[in-house]
Structure 1
Amino acid sequence: MQLIFFVCDKNGWSMNFRDDEGTVLDRFSKAKFFTEQFIPYENPTFNLFTAVFLVTLLPAAIIGAMKDLFSRKQTNHHAG
């Protein structure tokens, strides 16, 4: 998904949303955090989606990696 965002952002393409003026998506994407502080992309909507992906997917990836790491240590410890 980030690759798609990167290509779209660099080419000036944007998602074709319905008129989102005044909606929750519009308010969040135009928040100061997504327009001034967290700005990997020029498009604030891409910044919002990236932050949501980070919050939801990164913890699961870290937990999965830790489980995998600890299961390998236990398997190697018992095998030797």
Structure 2
Amino acid sequence: MPLGLFLILNSILFLFDHSSWTLYFQEGGYIEKLSNSQFFSEWFTPYRTPVHNVLVIFFMIICLPETVINFIEYLKAKRTVSS
């Protein structure tokens, strides 16, 4: 479930990035300061818009740890059933 959510959110960001729609946040806010940092404007740039790059990291922090935990639990349960 979290992996599916992560992929859906990335697909939405992909559509926003390749269209004229953009996400606007309050000027001088925390997300704007993050998106203008060197990391999100030069190093981590899967999208053209720096705000989308910040949101991808945010989604990764929220969704991917639960995906890894669910996968580990699945492997443990599978090992228990096959034993």
TM-score, scaled relative to structure 1:
0.85
May I ask how many residue pairs the two structures share in their alignment? 75
Task: Pick the aligned partner of 1:21 from 19, 24, 27.
Answer: 27
Task: Pick the aligned partner of 1:73 from 45, 64, 79.
Answer: 79
Q: CA deviation at 1:11?
A: 1.8
Q: Deviations over 1:4-59 (max 9, x none)?
A: 110111123212x35x2211111011111111111110011110010011122111
The CA distance in 1 between the partners of 2:74 and 2:34, in whole Å, is 36
Pairwise CA RMSD: 1.2
One-letter amino acid of the structure 1 residue matched with residue 47 of structure 2: Y
Structure possessing the higher relative contact order (Cα contacts under 8 Å, 6 or more residues apart) = 2
The CA distance in 2 between the partners of 1:45 and 1:3, in whole Å, is 15
Match of 2:59 in 1: 53
Q: CA deviation at 1:75?
A: 0.8
SS of the equivalent of 2:47 reads: coil
TM-score, scaled relative to structure 2:
0.82
SS of the equivalent of 1:40 reads: coil
Please tell me whether Structure 1 or Structure 2 has the larger radius of gyration of its CA atoms. 1
Does residue 63 in structure 1 map to residue 69 in structure 2? yes
Q: Percent of aligned positions with the same letter in both sequences?
A: 27
In the alignment, structure 2 segments of 5+ residues that lack a partner are: 1-8
